[in-house]
Structures are given as structure tokens and as C-alpha cells.
């Protein structure tokens, strides 16, 4: 198993608040890695630093062993990282295909090159069809998203993240607003992505979901890393104890 991301002594301070304190861990290629922790533990801060939205106060991040220049890190996509945030930022009046290519539209090559900003709907539709089929998502690229269920909207948001073919996808509470059936479908999708070689960083409060899809979990409490556990060797009680800041008894 090879390491894809290493976080080394990462700290973040917001004024007096120490949101992260010397957090270090590594994530392996092709695993589902969960981030667990109570409200305010530092999970969002950590993923925002990983996705280049927030600057860290100190510490380093390595991707494939190479140090990321965090002073000048605002395009995580270039590093192969995409994030699906909780507020999905789906454009309801646009189609599935338009959402998948939102901000990344394929433009028509006319006689004036790309000077005419017409989007190439046919290519975006074809690209969406291919991506949706690879993800085994039964969605019509031409449908408008506005009448979609929460689970379908979540699927579109995940498909959009996959459009740039990232190596790593961060998902912030992807199932928190979903029905049991929709949750099951999203968990299946996460497993398929892993099987296709994508590494997934998953934030969830739902331990049952974590046990179902994740390989390992890092537990944060008050900005500190309490431990990283292989989910095959830990119980939910132990994880809950860790979320309350108790280090796991050594076995």
C-alpha cells in the first residue's frame, strides 16, 4: 500500500481558538479514510486546508511524497483533489450535464477559435453520459436538477467532482440529509469509486456508515488527533470514547 497524502504537524489557529494542533497522519492510495470527531473537533478545518480553501498556521502536507507549497496552494484540483461540500452548490435550473461541467465548460471551437463562448452541449452531454455510466448512476444528462431527490442531487455533486478525474475525493457528510435508501446508494457509489482506484476522505457523524464503507478512521477531539484506527479492529464504543478525547487502550 502506498501513501498518497501525508499531513505533518498541521496546526490552525483562529485568533484564540486552536482548531487543529500538531495533527499528523497518512492516507493510503485507494482507501476510504474517515475523519471522525464531535462538533468543533476540527474536521472541516482540516479538509479546507487539504482543499486549499484555508491557510494553515503551521505544518506541511505531502502528496505522493512531494511537499505541497502551502503558501501558494489554492488549486487543489491541480493536485488531483476534489471536494464535495455539504451545501452541494448544485445549480437547480441547469441540466445534469451542465452541472457536471459547471465552471469547467467545454467550449465550441469555431472559426474564431475559442473567442466565441458557446458551450459544446453535445460533447458535455456525451462526456456526462460516459461518466454517469462509469459511476453506474442512472441519471439523464439532459434532466434539470431542480426536481431531483436529495440522493440524486448528491450523486450529481459527486459526479461533478469526478469530472476532472481526481485521485482523491473529499466528501463532507454526503449522507447526512438522505433517506435510508438514498444513503445506501451513496455508500455503494463510494465503494465503487474506491474499487475504481479513487482515494476517498469521508467526513460523517454516522458511525454505522463509517463502519460500512471506511477502511480506517482518524479521530479528532478539540483539534488534536486522538488516533487512527483500522475499522476492522475497533468497536463503536471505542471510537465514541476517542471522539470524547480518550485515547484507546493499547491492545
Ligand X SMILES: Nc1ncnc2c1ncn2[C@@H]1O[C@H](COP(=O)(O)OP(=O)(O)OP(=O)(O)O)[C@@H](O)[C@H]1O
Contact between residue 175 and residue 209 where contact means Cβ atoms under 8 Å apart: yes
> CA-CA distance, 9 to 13, in Å (whole number)?
13
CB of 32 to ligand X, least distance (A): 19
Looking at the Cβ atoms of 38 and 120, the one nearer to ligand X is 38
CB of 51 to ligand X, least distance (A): 13
C-alpha cell at position 10: 498541521
CB of 45 to ligand X, least distance (A): 3
Does position 174 bind ligand X by CB under 6 A? no
Contact pattern from residue 3 through residue 22 relative to ligand X, giving x for each residue in contact according to CB under 6 A and a dash for the rest: -----------x--x-x---
Three-state SS string over 184-212 comes to: HHHHHHHHHHHHCCCEEEEECCCHHHHHH
CB of 220 to ligand X, least distance (A): 7
Contact pattern from residue 29 through residue 48 relative to ligand X, giving x for each residue in contact according to CB under 6 A and a dash for the rest: --------x-xxxxxxx---
Q: Quick one: DSSP state of residue 73?
A: -
Looking at the Cβ atoms of 40 and 245, the one nearer to ligand X is 40
Contact pattern from residue 41 through residue 80 relative to ligand X, giving x for each residue in contact according to CB under 6 A and a dash for the rest: xxxxx-----------------------------------
CB of 154 to ligand X, least distance (A): 18
C-alpha cell at position 38: 464531535
Give Cα 190 distance to the centre of its chain.
10
Helix (H, G, I), strand (E, B) or coil at 12: strand
Looking at the Cβ atoms of 42 and 151, the one nearer to ligand X is 42
Helix (H, G, I), strand (E, B) or coil at 181: helix
> CA-CA distance, 223 to 193, in Å (whole number)?
29
* Contact residues: ligand X, CB under 6 A: 14, 17, 19, 37, 39-45
Amino acid at each position: 500500500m502506498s501513501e498518497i497524502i501525508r499531513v505533518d504537524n498541521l496546526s490552525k489557529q483562529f485568533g484564540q481558538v486552536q482548531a487543529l494542533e500538531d495533527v499528523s497522519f497518512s492516507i493510503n492510495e485507494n482507501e476510504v479514510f474517515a475523519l471522525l470527531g464531535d462538533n468543533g473537533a476540527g474536521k472541516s478545518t482540516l479538509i479546507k486546508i487539504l482543499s486549499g480553501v484555508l491557510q494553515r498556521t503551521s505544518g506541511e502536507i505531502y502528496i505522493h511524497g512531494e511537499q505541497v507549497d502551502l503558501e501558494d496552494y489554492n488549486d487543489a484540483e491541480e493536485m488531483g483533489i476534489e471536494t464535495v461540500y455539504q451545501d452541494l452548490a448544485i445549480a437547480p435550473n441547469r441540466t445534469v450535464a451542465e452541472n457536471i461541467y459547471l465552471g469547467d465548460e467545454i467550449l465550441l471551437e469555431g472559426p474564431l477559435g475559442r473567442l466565441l463562448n458557446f458551450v459544446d452541449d453535445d460533447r458535455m452531454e456525451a462526456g456526462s453520459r460516459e461518466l454517469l455510466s462509469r459511476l453506474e448512476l442512472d441519471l439523464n444528462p439532459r434532466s434539470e436538477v431542480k426536481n431531483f431527490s436529495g440522493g440524486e442531487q448528491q450523486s450529481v455533486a459527486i459526479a461533478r467532482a469526478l469530472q476532472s478525474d481526481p485521485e482523491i475525493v473529499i466528501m463532507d457528510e454526503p449522507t447526512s440529509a438522505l433517506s435510508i435508501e438514498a444513503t445506501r446508494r451513496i455508500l455503494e457509489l463510494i465503494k465503487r469509486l474506491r474499487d475504481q482506484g479513487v482515494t476517498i476522505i469521508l467526513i460523517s457523524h454516522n458511525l454505522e456508515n463509517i463502519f460500512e464503507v471506511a477502511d480506517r478512521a482518524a479521530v479528532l477531539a478539540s483539534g488534536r488527533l486522538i488516533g487512527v484506527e483500522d475499522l476492522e479492529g475497533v468497536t463503536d464504543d471505542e471510537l465514541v470514547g476517542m471522539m470524547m478525547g480518550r485515547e484507546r487502550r493499547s491492545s
